[in-house]
Amino acid sequence: MTTTTEPRYTRADFQSDQEVKWCPGCGDYTILASVQNLLATLDFDREKHVFVSGIGCSSRFPYYMNTYGIHSIHGRAPAVATGVALANPDLTVWVITGDGDALSIGGNHIIHALRRNVNLKVLLFNNQIYGLTKGQYSPTSETGKKTKTSPMGSLDYPFSPVSLALGAEATFVARTIDMDRDHTTKILEAAYEHHGTAFIEIYQNCNVFNDKAFQLLTGREVRDTNRIYLEPGERIVFGENNEMGVVLGIDGAKIVRVEDVGLDAIQVHDPTRPNPGIAFALSRLSHGPTGPTPIGIFRNVQRDTYGDLLRAQIEQAKDRNKATSIADLVEQHGTWTIE
């Protein structure tokens, strides 16, 4: 991360004059503070950050950032952000979205932004519920979830956002938790440094419509038992005394007792593997926060971004056609005058 000895900014520089209107106790407050604190440490012009959101509780985020921002339309934030990033490659473009906004009406947009490797930082706030519209089940709600739109229990099988992102070949995929400020900051910092699409799922508590959905990962007495921290170059162990670990087999990743297999058999985490297969296997260790759940960076690889390839293609076309600008290139062929 590029920093200066004396920071150019403080968190206050990134706080807008708008009153923050989330429910008291909402996890969005913590995420907002984590993002503002991170940006204050960067030697990067405040005016070059752009926050683009869709619709939902999380999508109020741009109002509270003293940066450029766009509160766009439902599910379409990745499309709008793609336009911003391609037209202005010097900007850092952040997409703020929720599990409903991104994975329901916006499902098509999110997967194509990921596979194209557009230079975006996507923060998906996952509270496993529709909060803004008052508590309907969402694409990440567990099967059997009883809500106003599923009074007998949801019949849908939920998405795993991390698995979805890995399946779309996203070059940076991570998961963190709203209440773990230190971990969230570390993941945000790594995403900022990544050139390409960085996708972060953030487990975010909705204390009004889905309170304690992540209790197994946040409760003081159980979190050490259920958080599987993914640390590059380290064996994947967890538990109060690191007595549990993860191994790979023909059926994918599974959890074992370390003493039963020996430490050498435990998987060493490497998010830089070109093939996302092992990262995907790790993402299937849990299908939601219902037991031991991996958090951290699943994948972090480099691939040409869509913007870099597009600009190179434009220059190639200009050279081939002896054009001096895009307008000149467009007007050379396929135009005619109607009398």
Classify residue 27 by burial, with Cβ atoms within 10 Å: 0-12, 13-18, 19+: buried
Q: What is the H or E stretch that residue 255 is in?
A: strand 252-257
Q: What is the pLDDT of residue 1?
A: 56
φ, ψ for residue 110, nearest 5 deg: -70, -40
pLDDT < 70 positions in the chain: 1-5, 334-336
| pLDDT given at position 323 | 79
Q: State the amino acid at position 184 in one-letter form.
A: T
Nearest to 52 by CA among 31, 73, 66, 28: 73
Burial of 255 (0-12, 13-18, 19+ CB in 10 A): middle
CA distances from 331 to 311, 317, 328 (A): 18, 13, 5
Record the tokens describing residue 114, joined without a space: 């990921």
Domain positions in the chain: 11-213, 304-339
CA distance 330 to 110: 30
Residue whose structure tokens are 């911003």: 84
What is d(CA 327, CA 324) in angstroms, rounded to the nearest whole number?
8
The pLDDT score that the predictor gives to residue 19 is 96
Q: What is the structure's pLDDT at 335?
A: 65
Q: Which two tokens stand for residue 132?
A: 């803004």
Q: How far apart are CA 6 and CA 76, in angstroms?
A: 38
* CATH class of the domain comprising 11-213: alpha beta
For residue 60, the 8-state DSSP code is G
Q: Amino acid letter at 130?
A: Y
Q: Which two tokens stand for residue 287?
A: 């299908």
pLDDT of residue 260: 97
Q: What is the per-residue pLDDT for 2?
A: 56
Return the structure tokens found at 33: 């503070």
Max CA distance (Å), the chain:
85
Q: What is the 3-state secondary structure (H, E, C) of 128-148?
A: CCECCCCCECCCCCCCCCCEC
- Token readout for 120 is 């975006």
**What pLDDT, on a 0 to 100 scale, did the predictor assign at position 81?**
98
